[in-house]
Amino acid sequence: MNQSECLNANWQMIGLEDGSNGRELSHIGNHRKACAEFNISPDLEQYQLGHTQGLRQYCTYNKGFQQGSHGNTYKSICPPDLVGDFRFGHQRGREVYALSLELNRTQSSIKEIHELLEELTAEALSKEDLIISRKTREADRALLLVDIKEIQTEIGRLEVELELLEQQEADIAYERNRLKRRYQAGPE
């Protein structure tokens, strides 16, 4: 906050904004530090009044779900009469978040396999080029054929693994989206 903002501050509105954004009451300390250099102190009573009103906007099932689905932890700021709905939404959001993490890991594995398949395919083609080269000795051609056969076996294994991972990816995405739609509808 600059000097003008500190001088003209509506501390109740600032508290309301901080509370509705899920900031703790102690966040007033940041405002206090910012305004201290201008010898201005926040109106704690007005800030608390606004903060309490803001928490009533924040501590809802939907906000809990939103925070949980983004992987945010619960900061224990909701008043007792609102904490149940918020935590219920947060718990459900965390279920969606866990599936998102699992989906990301699966997608990362799929990407790694695609890259490995490209490398192995390029290696097999390179060895095939060596086989047909006039400079390659007959004994080396036999070894290159064995290498190509091993590469093809590994490619086959990776293709099977890739197919399983792609099915897993589809299943996880489906479940995550199903839960997300169901839980966003609100508490049951």
pLDDT in tens, 134-157: 999 999 999 999 999 999 999 999
* Pairwise pLDDT comparison (4 vs 100), residue with the higher score: 100
Quote the DSSP letter at residue 26.
Answer: G
**What pLDDT does 93 receive?**
97
The mean per-residue pLDDT over the stretch 55-74 comes to: 96
- SS3 state of residue 27: helix
Measured distance CA(88)–CA(82) in Å, rounded: 10
Measured distance CA(71)–CA(27) in Å, rounded: 21
**What pLDDT does 182 receive?**
94
Measured distance CA(102)–CA(96) in Å, rounded: 10
Measured distance CA(62)–CA(73) in Å, rounded: 15
Tell me how crowded residue 103 is: count the other CB atoms within 10 A of its CB: 19
Helices of type H across the chain: 3-7, 11-20, 28-36, 44-58, 61-69, 80-132, 138-184
Cα-to-chain-centroid distance, residue 143: 48
Average pLDDT value for the chain: 95
Measured distance CA(91)–CA(11) in Å, rounded: 33
Q: Spell 116-154 as b/e; 16+ CB within 10 A means b.
A: eeeebeeebeebeebeeeeeeeeeeeeebeeebeebeee
Cα dihedral across residues 34, 38, 41, 47: positive or negative: negative
For 90-142, what is each residue's pLDDT tens digit?
999 999 999 999 999 999 999 999 999 999 999 999 999 999 999 999 999 99
Confidence category of residue 1, pLDDT binned at 50, 70, 90: confident
Q: Is the pTM of this model over 0.85?
A: no
